[in-house]
Amino acid sequence: MSGIIGHLTYAVLGHKAAAERQLPVAPIIGRHYASYLAGCYLGADIMTLPGGACAQCGEEWGYSASAPEQCPNDGGSLRPYVLPFDGADYSPQDIHRMFYGRTHLVFGWSPDETAHTLSWDALPNYFASVVRDALEFFGPGERPLAYLFGWMTHVVGDALIKSVQPGLTLYLLNGTYTPQNRPIQDLFSFHEVGRKELGLNWQALLSDLVETPVEPIQAHFMRLAPPRGALAQHFPDAWKPTQEKLLLAVMAENRRYQHIRNSRLLAQLALTDTPDGQQCDPELSGLTGGLTYAQMVELAEQANFRHALWQIGEAIAERFEAATLRQTLFQDFPISDGPTWKALTDRWCHDKMSQ
C-alpha cells in the first residue's frame, strides 16, 4: 500500500489545525507547500526505493524490500535493487537498517542502536532544538523550515497510527493499523476525505513534492551531519557525519523513484464505475478480504475514521506549537500573510490626485 496518501492527509490536516491556532509556521508552510509535503513523506521514509528492476525491460518495481515475483510488463525476472555508492552496494534493507530510526525517532532503530530511541515526551525538545538550528544555520529562507515541519508530521502521525504512542480511538476492520485495513484507510482518505471534502488535487500534490530539492537540513535532524547547534547540545549521542554523503544520494533516489511510483499509485487508487456502483482495484479489495468499495466506506464511517484523522491533526498542531513557542526567534515571524486585497483596496483605491 501507498503510505504516502496517509501521510499527506495527516500533513494537510496538521497545517489546517496550525492555521486555526494562528501559529507563525502556518503561513510559512503555505508559501512552501510542496516542500512541506515532501518533508512529510520523503523526509522520513528513506526506504522509498525500488525492490528490483526487470532484467529484460529495465523498469523498476516494488517498494524497499518488497517486489513482485515477476515484472508486470513482460513477466521477466527482477534483479534486486542496490544503490552503488563510494565503492559499495547498498540494498533497501541496508538503507532501512541504517537510517529508519533516525527519521522516526520513537521507534524503528536497528538492534545495535535501540538505545537511541526517544520517548514521546522527548520529542518537543528534539523538535524545538532542530527548529532553532534551522533558523540559525539553514536560513534566512523559509523552505527548509517548511520541510522540517513536514517531517514532524510524519513522526507524530506514524507514532499514533501505529500505536507506538497511545491516543487514537480507532478500530477499523481488525485493528488500528493492519495490512487488511490499510487499503480502507488509503482509499477513504484519497476519495472521501481528500477529493470530496478537502478538494485535494492528488496528482498535482504528488507531482510537486517529488520536484522539490534534496534538503541538507535532513542530514542535520537525522544526526548524520557534523554535530552543531542546539540539537548537538541537547542530544549529543548518535551522530555519524561520515554517512552524510550516502544519505544525500539516498534522498535523491527517493525523489527519483517516487516520481515513478506516483502514476502507479494513482492508477491503483482509482475507482471504476460499474452497474453495481464504484469498485476499487481488485488487489486492494483482496487485501481486505474481498470488501467492495462501498463496504469499505461503510466500515470507515462506522469506525469514525475521520475522528482519528482529526486526532492526528490536533496532535501535529500541538507539537508545532510546542516547537515554536520554545523559540524566541519565532516571535518575529508574522502569523498571517498580511492584509487581504480587500483591506488594501479600502486603504489605497481612493485617488487623491483626482480631487
Percentage of residues of the chain with pLDDT beyond 90: 89
352: pLDDT confidence band, cut at 50, 70 and 90? low
Contact 308, 302 (CB under 8 A): no
Tell me the backbone φ, ψ of residue 267, rounded to 5 degrees: -65, -40
Whether pLDDT at 329 is above 90: no
Cell numbers at residue 160, please? 499514533
pTM: 0.94
Residue-averaged pLDDT of the chain:
94
Would you state the pLDDT for residue 242? 98
Nearest one of 271, 318, 313 to 12, comparing CA atoms: 313
Rounded-to-integer distance, Cα 48 and Cα 214, Å: 14
Whether pLDDT at 330 is above 90: no
pLDDT 10s digits, 77-103: 999 999 999 999 999 999 999 999 999
Cell numbers at residue 71, please? 515484472
| Structural domain boundaries in the chain | 4-49+118-332
Rounded-to-integer distance, Cα 197 and Cα 203, Å: 16
